[in-house]
Chains A and B, each alone.
Chain A
């Protein structure tokens, strides 16, 4: 906790009665506030201690926030996992024999199979061995986010737009 040098100790913050909140007496602060008043080593040390106390408190709160974020992310991930497991068939369930071949889902309906094959091959080459589940027109919803961000990030070069 923040400690005040013995010669600067004053009364506690009125109404608190809490030693930990004893920061600087108003007498000391008034002395510090007087512009051009002689700066003693003690008052400077008190202000340096006040700065350090604030810094440490900020660091503790920031790291607590980080821990809370980590806990939140881990908790939500666990919930997500549990939901996924619950959605899967329970172990020991008799395996249903494979049904006759069903037509493929209408993932790329309206497209020439040759085009689908070409796109799939291109994606496979670039993205690696992932399963392609759907091919279709790009959703425009993300565009405006990217547009605004690009606009903001490019703000240092406004004349380049011309």
Chain B
């Protein structure tokens, strides 16, 4: 029988007890947080598609830390700090998720794949029927980004990191991922993790904001019946093609995201069934799964425990709260302009996060008045939210890069 100690046998426990106190507490806390995320995902409070793989990934990576010798601790999942070509190639042959991270996260491919899938789910006809109202609400719902950017600088973040963090206010996961990669790759991991954590919270948290700001009597307003000309597939395609090219012309830095989003729309409207099936099912859900899993795995204590995370947590929640308030204020403006005929709850749907916020809006309105159907208005605002978030992120990236 070899002379082997208990801690040599069970390295996960050994690295836990050998770690510095703050790392040990961090690992245990993150394991518990992983369980909580999984539970809340399972119960439907948080976005299950993201939270279940993310929660399990987070708990497992913090449990599975092993000793690589010479006092070096690490995991066999991935190494986000591998930067040189040699390091990346070496890690790709060791860490099983390193290929996914290096080949789809670092270059923004995963964000584009998710956007492509989202594009196939978007019916731009909702925006085309009421473009001004939808866009107005979406502009109001960018309030969080507007306020959080200077707040981040006030809290001590460098300008590029503050701008990247502020994009959480747009409530669009791929956009947060993209902006942080371009603007602040050094804190890309915590920004993206915090961003996605909070985006998962919108489904559970936004109803409280809406209930606090919109009385039930107003939530129950039924939208007047409108006679609108049906928008044909051809018209939707013309819109998608023109928007894609013009926005790319204005902001080449976000052109990959514009192309991904609008090619999804075009595939849907052109009736390319096989592509549609591929993008809206396998690709969207495959990308979402690996996004959740890799984000969870990135939450290893030694990577994520950065003093800045606390600032990001505060800024993230502020950004999303201000955006929700901005959207609802926009809704109230339309409510007063229309003489009390417009349901201001639709404003919350302008906070992008397709289609979660639109679902939240309809759910709240239905609870107040089962006969009130606002879904088509909410989806219009929702899709406009994606467009304005992309524009705002592109403007921010361009302005901050020009300044730096």
List residues of chain A with CB under 8 Å of any chain B CB. Answer: 13, 21, 23-24, 26, 29, 32-36, 39, 43-44, 47-48, 50-55, 57-59, 61-63, 65-70, 72-73, 76-77, 144-145, 148-149, 152-153, 155-159
Which of B42, B48, B239 is A72 in contact with, Cβ under 8 Å?
A: B239
Question: Are A62 and B135 touching (Cβ within 8 A)?
Answer: yes
Looking at B23-31, B103-111, B157-165, the stretch in contact with chain A turns out to be: B157-165
User: What are 19 A-B interface contacts by the 8 Å CB criterion?
Assistant: A33-B160, A44-B150, A47-B159, A51-B149, A51-B166, A55-B392, A63-B136, A65-B131, A65-B387, A66-B135, A72-B239, A72-B242, A73-B128, A73-B229, A73-B231, A73-B235, A77-B229, A153-B355, A156-B359
Question: Are A23 and B139 touching (Cβ within 8 A)?
Answer: no
Complex alpha-carbon distance, A29 and B150, angstroms: 13
Decide yes or no whether B403 CB sits under 8 A from chain A.
yes
**Besides A51-B166, A66-B134, 18 other A-B contacts (C-beta < 8 A):** A33-B160, A33-B404, A52-B146, A53-B399, A58-B391, A62-B139, A62-B387, A63-B132, A65-B387, A69-B239, A70-B131, A73-B131, A73-B229, A76-B232, A76-B235, A145-B276, A156-B44, A157-B48
Nearest residue in B to A157 (C-beta to C-beta)? B44
**Which of chain A's residues have a CB closer than 8 A to the CB of B166?**
51
B41, chain A: closest CB distance, angstroms? 9
Closest 3 A/B residue pairs (Cβ): A66-B131, A66-B135, A33-B158
Decide yes or no whether B396 CB sits under 8 A from chain A.
yes
Name the interface size band of chain B. Answer: 35 or more
Nearest residue in B to A69 (C-beta to C-beta)? B131
Contact A148/B139 with A13-B402, A55-B146, A77-B229 known, Cβ cut-off 8 Å = no
Which of A47, A70, A152, A156 is B203 in contact with, Cβ under 8 Å?
A: A156
Nearest residue in A to B389 (C-beta to C-beta)? A58
Complex alpha-carbon distance, A153 and B280, angstroms: 13
B296, chain A: closest CB distance, angstroms? 17
Decide if the interface of chain A is mainly helix, strand, loop or mixed: helix
Decide yes or no whether B90 CB sits under 8 A from chain A.
no
Complex alpha-carbon distance, A72 and B277, angstroms: 29
Question: Are A152 and B238 touching (Cβ within 8 A)?
Answer: no
Complex alpha-carbon distance, A73 and B242, angstroms: 13
Decide yes or no whether B127 CB sits under 8 A from chain A.
yes
Question: Are A23 and B402 touching (Cβ within 8 A)?
Answer: yes
Which of B135, B154, B160, B239 is A39 in contact with, Cβ under 8 Å?
A: B154
Question: Are B162 and A47 touching (Cβ within 8 A)?
Answer: yes
**Which of chain A's residues have a CB closer than 8 A to the CB of B387?**
62, 65
Question: Are A156 and B391 touching (Cβ within 8 A)?
Answer: no
Taking CB atoms and an 8 Å cut-off, the chain B residues in 124-149 that contact chain A are 127-129, 131-132, 134-136, 138-139, 142, 145-147, 149
